[in-house]
Amino acid sequence: MIERSRRAVLTAIGSSMIAGCSMSDRESIDVTELQPGWTADLDAQSPKAAPRVLDGSVYVDNGFDFIEIPLERPGNRRKLLDTFLGSPAVRDVTANPAVDETAGRLLVPTELANTGTLYSIDPETGIEWETKLPGGSGFAPIVDGDEIAIQTDEAVSLLDREIGEILWSKSIRTAGLSGHERHADLSPALIEDRVLVPTKDGLQCFSREDGSELWNSLDRAVTERPAVDGDRAYVPVSRHGVKALDLETGRVDWETDPFESWTTPVVGDDRVYVAAVRDMYAFERTSGDLVWHTDGGDFGGAVYTDPTLVDDRIVVGSSGYAVLILDREGTLRARSTGTNTKFAHAVTDDGIVAAERTAVSRYDLP
């Protein structure tokens, strides 16, 4: 199995300090210690991808199968791939699945006998379609409207969401081709008439209609899917922080000082929130000015997860704590104890689900 986890790529390196407001300078407050509402053991196996929630169940890969766990009855679990495909021992889920909310399906990238396949699975009725992927095994798919974008080691492809037909495919060089550099949720960004693809050569922009290249910017490895808001893309660049690009031209509008980040930024309140290796940063969306950053001392280790905005909170996880909850000013308000995670959380109607060491846990948000 090819190693695609962030744990293999994020070593104990600190991010460069950026002049601005550090949370270490602020008055300390009491931090709420979170306990899970329930924990479902994965038979001593570690989760291999981020959990996904669909129609009242959470789905997670444990290295042997894609497990369905009902949110209200976590003891009643089912092996989804075994149920619909049989059980060849060498089939791997290669990256974070996606949820097709419109069709009520899961999009699961797999590899068998060195061939990458994307499955569209209805948990009730089974396999809706399967598509062999050009260029190797797939990273995380992205769904938008009637189409799906997915990249592999050597190609990016746009698929018809309903039937899985490949509409076009283009050769690329995905960042991090060696085994120790792979990570699970590298994926394109789908926006209106464009597809933004993180590659070893920078951020490439393709026409969504026919796959023609519109521009190529940065000339450095882009480590993660960019965040898009308005007329800009916010792009994490290997060892060079975040750069804001004009979507029309690929021009750099602003850039931060260098720091290491392997996560997708999130945009809210006219700010861009970024999880670095051991820090969190907030930048002004239009100017790139630093609003605040944490010093990481309360995080208990490296941050592997994409930040998620839930109401007025920022949710991340680290190698020390499966759940870290900050307010929008960067103050740590709550954290779980005795657990860790390397994958983004799944948000439910009234809480979050985290993939932990050998289990999946559901937490209420304070």
Calculate mean pLDDT across residues 14-21: 45
- Mean residue pLDDT of the chain comes to 88
Calculate mean pLDDT across residues 5-34: 54
Cβ 356 vs Cβ 339: under 8 Å: yes
Q: Does 16 score more than 50 pLDDT?
A: no
Q: Where are the domains of the chain?
A: 12-47+270-366
Calculate mean pLDDT across residues 336-342: 85
Calculate mean pLDDT across residues 133-145: 95
Q: pLDDT for 272-328, tens place per residue?
A: 999 998 889 999 999 999 999 998 778 888 887 999 999 999 999 998 999 999 999
Cβ 164 vs Cβ 177: under 8 Å: no
Instruction: Quote the pTM value.
Output: 0.90
Tell me what pLDDT residue 9 has: 38
Q: Does 138 score more than 90 pLDDT?
A: yes
Of the listed ranges 44-48, 191-195, 244-248, the one predicted with least confidence: 44-48
Tell me what pLDDT residue 361 has: 96
Q: pLDDT for 49-65, tens place per residue?
A: 899 999 999 999 988 88
Tell me what pLDDT residue 3 has: 40
Q: pLDDT for 164-183, tens place per residue?
A: 999 999 999 887 644 334 44
Cβ 217 vs Cβ 252: under 8 Å: yes
Tell me what pLDDT residue 186 has: 83
Calculate mean pLDDT across residues 61-82: 92
Q: Does 94 score more than 70 pLDDT?
A: yes
- pLDDT band of 246, cuts 50, 70, 90: very high
SS3 string, the chain, reads CCCCCHHHCCCCCCCCCCCCCEHHHCCCCCCEEECCCEEEECCCCCCCCCCEEECCEEEEECCCCEEEEECCCCCCCEEHHHHHHCCCCCCEECCCCEEECCCCEEEEEEEECCEEEEEEEECCCEEEEEEECCCCCCCCCEEECCEEEEECCCEEEEEECCCCCEEEEEECCCCCCCHHHCCCCCCCEEECCEEEEEECCEEEEEECCCCCEEEEEECCCECCCCEEECCEEEEEECCCCEEEEECCCCCEEEECCCCCCCCCCEEECCEEEEECCCCEEEEECCCCCEEEECCCCCCCCCECCCCEEECCEEEECECCCCCEEEECCCCEEEEECCCCCCCCCEECCCEEEEECCCEEEEEECC
Residue bearing the bigger pLDDT, 126 or 30:
126
CATH number of the 12-47+270-366 domain: 2.130.10.10
Q: Does 13 score more than 50 pLDDT?
A: no
Q: Does 347 score more than 80 pLDDT?
A: yes
Instruction: Tell me what percent of the residues of the chain surpass a pLDDT of 90.
Output: 67
Tell me what pLDDT residue 22 has: 57
Calculate mean pLDDT across residues 57-81: 93
Q: Does 160 score more than 50 pLDDT?
A: yes
What are the angstrom distances between the C-alpha of 200 and each of 89, 213, 217, 336? 32, 16, 11, 35
Strand partners, 60: 67
